[in-house]
Amino acid sequence: MGLKRLAQDLWFRTWWTYPSGGPPWIEIPYHVFNLFEGAVWTLLSALVLRRYLRHRRSAVELAYALAFFTFGLTDFREAYSLQSWLILAKGANLLALFWLRSFVIRRYYPESKLF
């Protein structure tokens, strides 16, 4: 039973839902912040896509824009519910974002420091 419980916690456990009935002074800001954060990641995705469409230096930029977009989607999901699988997906997405950013910036836009 211990291994089944571990697998349940590592993949399927729900850590938080909105509203969970807890103190609203924590839930409401957490919810609003995640919605705002999702919008910011989506905006960054659009900026990277726009840069790609303007310069077309590498198709890797499409993956970079998609990584920003999917990271934004995870924040929209987190605004309503946080499960273990979502935490793992966000971690994998974040690693992909860091790698794609370093690759694209270093190789195609060394003068850029923002995105």
pLDDT recorded at residue 60: 94
CB-CB contact of 18 with 27 (8 Å): yes
- H helical segments located in 8-115: 24-55, 60-78, 84-108
pLDDT tens track for 74-114: 999 999 999 999 999 999 999 999 999 999 988 988 887 76
- 9, 13, 15, 66 from 99: Cα distances, Å: 28, 28, 28, 13
Tell me which H or E stretch contains 4.
helix 2-7
pLDDT tens track for 8-47: 777 888 888 887 777 778 888 999 999 999 999 999 999 9
Of 55, 99, 104, which is closest to residue 112 (Cα–Cα)?
A: 104
- 3, 5, 95 from 10: Cα distances, Å: 10, 9, 19
What phi and psi values does residue 15 have, to the nearest 5 degrees?
A: -90, -25
